[in-house]
A and B are shown apart, each in its own frame.
Chain A
Amino acid sequence: MTPPSLRALARNAVAVICLVGTFLYFSSTVGDAFDIDNLLNVGGQAAPLGLVALGQLTVVLTGGFDISVGSIAALSAVTTALSVGAVGPVGVLAGPLTGLACGVVNGVVIGRFGIQPIVATLGMLSVARGLATLISGERAVIIEGENPLADLGYGSVGAVPIGLLVLLALTGVLALVLRRLRIGRRVYMIGSNPDGARLGGVSVIRTTVFAYAVSGLSAGMAALFFVGRAGGGLPTEANGLELQAIAAVVVGGAALTGAVGRPLFVLIGALFIQLLSNGLNLTGTSPFEQEIALGAVLVAAGLLDFAIRRVATANNPLRGTP
């Protein structure tokens, strides 16, 4: 039987190989445009994607997924811009709060009412995007005067972009939560065996709500970066973000069946996606061609997950192995 440690290694290696491979490829083709400064830059740019990928990981660990994160981010961007315009810098809280609220709704619909994630998050995707368009009056909500989030978008501490620092910090926080806190372990439990978890006293409903709330919150926080960079909230923001997030999660070694996946490698997966995007930009690939590449990456990641699962079950008749 393929030892589980070897399988876990294979899953985690994928992200690292992709990241390193992409870096090597582009540095050889594009040349010295790919230096350390550039890499740090990429890290900073990857902040919103990375945050959303971390949130998505939490949900995927429970055996579900969340395709509404892009729309939630857009809605949060709009509410942030409006709030800042109305009450000043305190208004930045609107972003994470909006995201959190949407996430909780998702979690309740899925956890309490038993609706499948695809339906619930599909509904939220439409509703959130619609709301974003509605309350923004179908145009960008510009922040007049000083943008309190400009530093977030463009600032750096020394050579390191703030975005990258935030991303690294939150990766650490999530890793801590998932590894050490009860609620984090419960996420793995319901992903591993919901019946067993229930027997052990775990509230599947509460844990599900938590997971989707985290996903929504991460989208809300990602929105702050969008507002910081754009100088306002666009209802069309983050179109396709969910796809990138899921790709990052799958490349990062998480299993779509749940209970397998670690924040560090999802972070690497997100960095890979961002690096790929940047590299393709530098080589003159149009954003549309990049879309094709992204679609292909997602499918390839899925196929890889399939291959790893196949090898696992072929060699082990026991149930429930990662």
Chain B
Amino acid sequence: MSGRPDVLRAVDVTKRFGATTALDSVGITLRPGEVHALLGENGAGKSTLVKILVGAERPDTGTIEVDGRPVTLTSVRDAVAHGVVPIYQQLSLMPHLSVTENLLAFELARGGGWRRTRRSWDAEARRALDAVGLDIDGRRPVGELSLAQRQLVEIARGVLVDSKLLVLDEPTTALTAGEVDRLFTVIRGLRDRGAAVLFISHRLEEVMAISDRLSVLRNGRSALRDVPVAGLTPQEVIRAMVGRDVPPVALAGGAVGEPVLQARELSCTGAFTDLSLTVHRGEVLGVVGLMGSGAVELAEVLAGTRAGTGRVTVDGHAVRLGSRRAALGAGIGYLPGDRDVDGVFPVLTVLSNATASGLDEVSSWGTLTQARERRRVLGPLRALAVRPDDPGAPIRALSGGNQQKVLLARMLSGRPAQVLVTADPTRGVDIGARRDIHTALRRDADRGAGVLVVSTDLDEVVGLADRVVVMRAGRIAAELSGGAGADVLLSHMTGAAA
């Protein structure tokens, strides 16, 4: 498709968040009539780059060009006005309103639409819906539609505003195989009509099937850039994602003891079915999987913050599912995956954050004294090298890594847990804190607990786990020893392995 200007070109984009460099001189070129895939592990910078391309973030340096002209995107609405349409997992749909009205809302951002009559509008909406093969009544409220249908509505919105670039972020996560096929047909149709499509996904098989070009980010840099897919093997792509860096130092583990947690026939509607797994004392068990594989939900069910069915026992005693308090009482400690939502108490001090799970242990007859709390907590805080280690400091003053360490101290300073369940324990955490957290987890395993680490960070799991379970599409796809490399794990996660 030569002769036409690139739809969107990002050159030399750099973005820093405090001390962390999320993107370092990254570039990408999106051409009309092409499906361009963007891959990279979590933390590689994918989501930051996408946010910059759709106007949700501004780069520190670098230029963005739309149709050959440099632009500054001030907001997502601004980006939409330039023809860049993000398809966000229906976060921007209004469920109580009809399909046609949801389509209409977007048109407003382009400054058009109001002068039309209702009938012409309905006709326009019909055309957009037909273009995506969605044969439903436009008057139906979006809330009634399935996830796949809602996604198509969002794409139809993009069609309606004649968007130049559609950005699809992990679009196939919750779709059935048939729905994926339908989606791909739509994408191909859009491409053939000259739109550019940016397709972000982990699923290698799908990526290779639908894309014309791909780019891979690793550690904030371009590992592969604008490479035609024809002529690439999945292994080459995986290697680019994982890299030939020095392998992470594996923390030596101690002896693995008898089983401490056993899950049988564990199911969670919409996430996973019929899982069975065992965690042993002294063992760090890693669980990896792509978004939508059910790995994070598994952690939540075991911790009791999500409902599920099945049998879970700790040291032979049955644990009631669906109750965090019951799980806590059974000896299951929990470090949630999203600390801002489920973990941190933002207006409170480090002390309050650290003792939140263990109030019964620092009180007598329901009364608390600061002295006793501090005594209980100072040890773990120091051991984890929390900076600053003043328990009276407001937790907002701490960096992400230190906040995470405080949450870890919370998990470790209550009653000694038999099982530690953690999800993405080092997300958004600097290297030093990462090392400290891993050491602490290893130490806790060595003292006799069973540690379950669900993570999207493959390096972390490779360095830390004694055994790894790979989940895919709600089931266990493989069980591997801790020595398996990241590329092997990724192969099983994406289904590229035989």
Contact = CB atoms under 8 A, between A and B. Distances in A.
B95 A192 contact: yes
Nearest to B143: A321
B147 interface: yes
Nearest to A1: B144
A196 B143 contact: no
B73 to A, nearest CB: 14
B17 interface: no
B124 to A, nearest CB: 16
Interface in B45-103: 76-77, 80, 91-97, 101-102
Interface stretch (B18-26, B104-112, B370-378, B451-459): B104-112
A322 B109 CA distance: 26
A259 interface: yes
B143 A200 contact: no
Nearest to B269: A317
A201 interface: yes
A199 interface: yes
A200 B108 contact: yes
Nearest to A260: B96
B141 interface: yes
A201 B77 contact: yes
A196 B105 contact: yes
Given A4-B144, A320-B143, A322-B143, A200 B105 contact: yes
Interface residues of A, number: 25
A146 interface: no
Nearest to A199: B92
Interface in A214-260: 259-260
Contact of A193 (B80, B93, B144, B270): B93
Nearest to B105: A200
B102 to A, nearest CB: 8
Interface of chain B, helix or strand or loop or mixed? helix
B114 interface: yes
Contacts of A182: 114
B171 to A, nearest CB: 16
Contacts of A191: 96
B106 A200 contact: yes
B166 to A, nearest CB: 15
Nearest to B111: A201
A260 B105 CA distance: 18
Contacts of B91: 193, 195-196
Contact of A259 (B93, B96, B108): B96
Contacts of A259: 94-97
Interface of A: 3-4, 182, 185, 188-189, 191-193, 195-202, 259-260, 317-322
25 contacts: A4-B143, A185-B101, A189-B94, A189-B97, A191-B96, A193-B91, A193-B92, A193-B93, A193-B95, A196-B91, A196-B92, A196-B94, A201-B105, A201-B108, A201-B109, A202-B105, A259-B95, A260-B96, A317-B269, A318-B143, A319-B95, A320-B93, A320-B94, A320-B96, A322-B96
Given A188-B96, A200-B109, A260-B96, 16 more contacts: A3-B144, A4-B143, A182-B114, A188-B97, A189-B101, A189-B105, A191-B96, A192-B94, A192-B95, A193-B93, A199-B105, A199-B109, A200-B102, A201-B106, A202-B105, A322-B143
